[in-house]
Amino acid sequence: MNTLRGWLASTLLGATIVFSSPTISAAQESEKPDPARAVMELIQKKEFAEASKAIKELEATQPKLPALRTLKVQWLASLRTGSPEGIDAAAEAKAMLEATRKAAMEDPDRIAELAGIANFALPVISQFGSSEDAISEAKATLALVDTPEFFKRGVQGYTTLRRTLATTLRQSGSNEEAAKVMIETINRLETFLKEAPDTKLLPSTLLNTMVVSLSFLPDADREAMQTKAMGLAERLLVESPSAESITAFTNTYGSLISSISRDTPEVAGELLKKAIKSLEDVAASDESLEKSATTSATSLKRIERSIEAALKQKEMIGKAAPAFDPMKWVNGEAIGQEELKGKVVLLDFWAVWCGPCIATFPELIKWHEEFSEKGLVIIGVTHEYGYVWDEETEKAKRAMDPTSVTLEDELAMLDKFIKFHKLQHRTMVTPKDSEMSNNYGVTGIPHVAVLDQDGKVQLIQIGSGPQSAARIEAKIKELLKL
């Protein structure tokens, strides 16, 4: 995020403002206020209404200002986390999207801009308006770009836009329609690849879209798409070896292997060996591509650690849970492992800096409310990270000197953080040298372990999102016989 802010700041501050008066000297011009900087400051101060007015004024007076598109995106992105007051965020986002659609109709080359605005505007419309409005806007945008003219103007912009629309449909519960949008996108890309095989970035865009589509497809269709994507990546690497095809092959296999490594680590391991062998063959047969292929093979080898962890996690299922290792407890009294016999236990390994962890909080609250009286005990597991509580922003932040944060400071921060997010379950803080996370096979968070009434591990689930939540809830209900 800091990198993004730095990039935005450098982009905006570096924008060149062209004034119509030829009599203005360079010195006088440098003294003039930078409108882009002024708008950016309004956004940073969360003065969204004033920022909106300023952006509209810039559109009317300086429509070709280089920083204008960046300002719009930053304004939309800030709305989602800024609790906007005195402004109808959904209506403003809808108006901005409609204006961008109109501009794209007049100039199809602006499809990339339309994709960027839609990517941020649709979530704002859904969050502050309704999912129905977001779907309506998504379909209106889709109807506009579903033409050969738009498709050929910008393959990546077109694909990004359709992916955004599919995401909006899925978030509103229209899963089948979202999957249909992704399949249609792949079909169009495949057709265009046959008609214009030399189009730059088209093969890699197609492969990337195939990989992304896996999260939209039902389980019954996922394996076929995986096989299709790997076949295309392999064919491109063999028939058209180049730096681009090597990158596309590596990204495709890397994403697919990572996606299946948790559930089927044995299969992932075999695919990894195959992918590395293919890259090594390219390195051996073409000296000009040796460095690129070797670097890519080395990159793929990093997945081995995840596969090893997944194998360890798989071996844990049905076995006695490793020992707990609490140093301190927050948001509740201490509880021992023996006291939990007869209960279904959900261990949630998390951290205050982990966005995906925070995204799971609504489910954790829901499960506590629905199942705690039926035999479920939820326990958070975290440790010291050198964070303190910022009273002004009401957020946890990393201390300038993390080593100066005492355990008491960290516990006080956790207490306020947990209360702010209205979590009801207790959390244990493990010692810095604790092996508990390693013993539970934690390689990334959020990481959930569900233990049965006999203290045996019955589920390991990593990550956030609807599919992850559905698997955890299904296992809870199964163990509670609900």
* 57 shares its domain with 6: yes
Do 327 and 386 have their domain in common? Answer: yes
Q: Report the alpha-carbon distance of residue 32 to residue 19 in Å, rounded.
A: 10
My answer on whether omega of the bond before 241 falls inside 30° of 0, hence cis, is no
pLDDT of residue 126: 86
| Structural domain ending residue among the three candidates 202, 228, 254 | 228
pLDDT of residue 13: 34
Which CATH number does the domain housing residue 394 bear?
Answer: 3.40.30.10
- pLDDT number for residue 87: 84
Residues 290 and 356 in one domain: no
Please check whether residues 192 and 270 belong to one and the same domain: no
CA dist 116 and 113 (Å) reads 5
8 A C-beta contact, residue 448 and residue 461: yes
| Structural domain span for residue 246 | 229-316
Whole-prediction pTM = 0.62
Domain end (from 185, 213, 228): 228
Quick one: 18 and 102 in the same domain? yes
And the tokens for 399? 């201390």
Whether residue 221 sits in one domain with residue 201:
yes
Cα–Cα distance measured from residue 264 to residue 314, given in angstroms and rounded to the nearest whole number: 9
Shared-domain flag, residues 42 and 174: yes
Residues 312 and 346 in one domain: no
Do 253 and 330 lie in a common domain? no
pLDDT at 11: 33
Residue 32 has a pLDDT of 54
Label residue 331 left, alpha or beta by phi (over 0 means left) and psi (-120 to 50 means alpha): left
Residue 37 to residue 13: CA distance in whole angstroms? 6
Q: What is the CATH number of the domain that holds 116?
A: 1.25.40
Q: What is the pLDDT of residue 39?
A: 85
Q: Which residue has the tokens 């996690």?
A: 313
* Measured torsion, CA atoms of residues 234, 463, 167, 95, in degrees rounded to the nearest 10: -130
What is the spatial distance between Cα 435 and Cα 455, in angstroms, rounded to a whole number? 19
Are 212 and 182 within 8 A, CB to CB? yes
Q: What pLDDT, on a 0 to 100 scale, did the predictor assign at position 231? A: 92
pLDDT tens, the chain, 482 aa long: 433 333 333 333 333 323 233 343 444 444 456 778 888 888 888 888 888 888 888 888 887 788 888 888 888 888 877 667 778 889 999 999 998 888 888 887 787 788 888 888 988 898 888 888 888 888 888 888 777 767 766 777 778 888 888 888 887 788 898 999 899 999 988 888 888 777 777 888 889 899 899 889 988 888 899 899 999 999 989 988 999 889 989 999 998 898 888 778 999 999 999 999 999 999 999 999 999 999 999 999 999 988 988 888 889 999 999 999 999 999 999 998 888 989 999 999 999 999 999 999 999 999 999 999 999 999 999 999 999 998 888 888 888 888 888 999 999 999 999 999 999 999 999 998 999 999 998 888 999 999 999 999 999 998 888 888 999 999 999 999 98
In this structure, what token pair is assigned to residue 286?
A: 């073409």
Cα 115 from Cα 273, distance rounded (Å): 37
Do 133 and 31 belong together in one domain? yes
The pLDDT of residue 323 is 94
What's the rounded Cα separation, in Å, for the pair 342 and 372? 13
- Which residues, 6+ apart, have CB-to-CB distance to 149 below 8 Å? 108
Among 212, 228, 244, the domain-final residue is 228
Q: Check residue 6 and give its pLDDT.
A: 38
Strands (E), 269-425: 328-330, 344-349, 376-383, 387-390, 395-398
Domain count, the chain: 3
Please indicate, yes or no, whether residues 309 and 261 belong to a single structural domain of this protein.
yes
> Are residue 325 and residue 306 in the same domain, yes or no?
no
From CA 39, how far away is CA 65, in angstroms rounded? 13
